[in-house]
A = this chain, B = another copy of it.
Amino acid sequence: MTFFLSTRDAGFAADFAQLLSMKREEAEDVDQAVAAIIADVRARGDAALLELTARFDRMALTAERLAFSDDEIEAEIARVSTEDRAALELAAARIRDYHLRQLPEDASWTDAAGATLGWRWTPVSAAGLYVPGGLASYPSSVLMNAIPAKVAGVSRLVVTCPTPGGVVNPLVLLAARIAGVDAVYRVGGAQAVAALAYGTATIAPVDKITGPGNAYVAAAKRRVFGRVGIDMIAGPSEVLVIADGDNDPDWVALDLLSQAEHDESAQAILITTDAGFGQAVAAAVEARLQMLERRAIAGASWRDNGAVIVVRDLDEAADLANRIAAEHLEIMVAEPEALAAKIPHAGAIFLGAWTPEAIGDYVGGPNHVLPTARSARFSSGLNVLDFMKKTTMARMTPEALRAIGPSAERLAVSESLQAHGLSVRARLDRLNG
């Protein structure tokens, strides 16, 4: 049953703690199977990839056909309607514009001691983007992963996407084309992640792997972490709406259901200062649920994980929101910026009644790959920096070394690292001698 809570209730603290700690998804333990698949791909390369693809995706491929050819891609994307193409292109342009502003700056300065210090940002050389097959094969996610990589300056960007029974979503191929992806490989699962991390004769290894996937893909990413960089391990999606009584309950209901329709384990929470409004939203959710094609999924999510919380005032709302640390936070109150300033912990914030979260999923510009399961307390949505790394730079002059070298030598000695100290001392002796 959807939670109905009020901060005025005696049992609120315990109920809210239960809501926070609720485990919405049982992690399937596929780690041993994934370890075997990775070992197989490392040992046998393409041969393993082809066998596993035949088994899991019922696809008889050859190494030559692992990648879609240009002709195949052209033929598939020719099936996309003009309207869908225009929508994807608008989304791509807006996502690119937003992420271009994230490009970081290098720095270099000379300090009072005469030391020149700074840092330099550079892109990873190659990145691989995992795109799920079937129903969850979202072209918007291709844009959200690929565009930050291209903006960062990644030289080689490839996609792996399973095509069970040979079926591919033409919009996924179009999105990859629009985003500037270099190659799309018809492989999925842990075997695709293994190929991206270790390389095969056909698929060159990459340095960073991003993108969503099922339990096998998640377990494989965790296993190759360190060999390559990965993005976060995403959990079920969630939205928190903070709304006062001056809102249309139907709009809020649809925003909650936008989250709920993703997955039975998704979570949609409303915090409101107006108990009557909360009831109206709950009624609107029930009404809208009847009309949805995905009502079984959305209904289960709302019933099992949904919540309406009535608070005394917006300060209480901010306090609870910080504890929830939601992936998506909609703020539908008179002064949304003022309330947002009190809520540091959220993945993405949507301000005002005219900003449904769905805008952010597609065309707003910010990324829709966001920290779930309260990890917004310590992590950020996917961004350009995820595809770059920073190298620190230092240059001493003889004078700088004379000024700060003795302290380095002293600390090295205190840590019993004699050669560290001697490497400084040998240079100081030259200066002094």
Tell me if B349 and A392 are in contact (CB < 8 A). Answer: yes
The total of chain A residues at the interface (CB under 8 A) is 122
Of B346, B376, B392, B411, the residue contacting A362 (CB under 8 A) is B411
Q: Which of A370-398 contact B (CB under 8 A)?
A: 371, 373, 375-381, 383, 385, 389-398
Q: How far is the CB of A274 from chain B (nearest CB, A)?
A: 20
A97 (CB) vs chain B CBs: closest residue: B111
| A280, CB-defined interface residue at 8 Å | no
Residues of B within 8 A of A255 (CB): 423
Number of copies of this chain that the complex holds = 2
Tell me if B408 and A378 are in contact (CB < 8 A). Answer: no
Q: Which of A79-98 contact B (CB under 8 A)?
A: 83-84, 86-88, 90-91, 94, 97-98
| A2, CB-defined interface residue at 8 Å | no
Residues of B within 8 A of A254 (CB): 419, 422-423, 426
| A358, CB-defined interface residue at 8 Å | yes
| A164, CB-defined interface residue at 8 Å | no
Q: How far is the CA of A110 from the CA of B425 in the complex (A)?
A: 56
Q: Which of A339-362 contact B (CB under 8 A)?
A: 340, 344-362
Given contacts A354-B400, A364-B396, A380-B391, 16 further A-B contacts (CB under 8 A): A101-B109, A125-B345, A140-B415, A251-B423, A292-B418, A346-B391, A347-B392, A349-B391, A350-B394, A358-B412, A359-B408, A360-B394, A364-B394, A365-B394, A371-B389, A379-B389
Q: How far is the CB of A29 from chain B (nearest CB, A)?
A: 13
Tell me if A395 and B355 are in contact (CB < 8 A). Answer: yes
| A424, CB-defined interface residue at 8 Å | yes
Tell me if B171 and A414 are in contact (CB < 8 A). Answer: yes
Of B91, B258, B389, B417, the residue contacting A420 (CB under 8 A) is B258
Tell me if B378 and A228 are in contact (CB < 8 A). Answer: yes
The interface of chain A, by Cβ under 8 A from chain B, is 83-84, 86-88, 90-91, 94, 97-98, 101-102, 107, 109, 111, 115-117, 119-120, 122-125, 135, 138-140, 171, 207-208, 226, 228-229, 233, 248, 250-251, 254-255, 257-258, 260-262, 288, 292-294, 298, 336-337, 340, 344-367, 371, 373, 375-381, 383, 385, 389-398, 400-401, 404-408, 410-412, 414-424, 426-427, 430
Q: How far is the CA of A373 from the CA of B207 in the complex (A)?
A: 13
Of B381, B410, B417, the residue contacting A262 (CB under 8 A) is B417
Tell me if B397 and A354 are in contact (CB < 8 A). Answer: yes
Tell me if B419 and A258 are in contact (CB < 8 A). Answer: yes
Tell me if B91 and A378 are in contact (CB < 8 A). Answer: no
Q: How far is the CB of A431 from chain B (nearest CB, A)?
A: 9
Tell me if B258 and A417 are in contact (CB < 8 A). Answer: yes
Tell me if A294 and B418 are in contact (CB < 8 A). Answer: yes
Given the contacts A226-B233, A349-B392, A367-B392, A407 and B358 also touching, CB distance less than 8 Å: no
**15 sample A-B contacts, Cβ–Cβ < 8 Å, listed by A number:** A87-B406, A87-B407, A91-B411, A115-B364, A117-B366, A125-B344, A207-B378, A226-B375, A293-B418, A348-B394, A354-B397, A355-B394, A359-B394, A363-B408, A376-B389
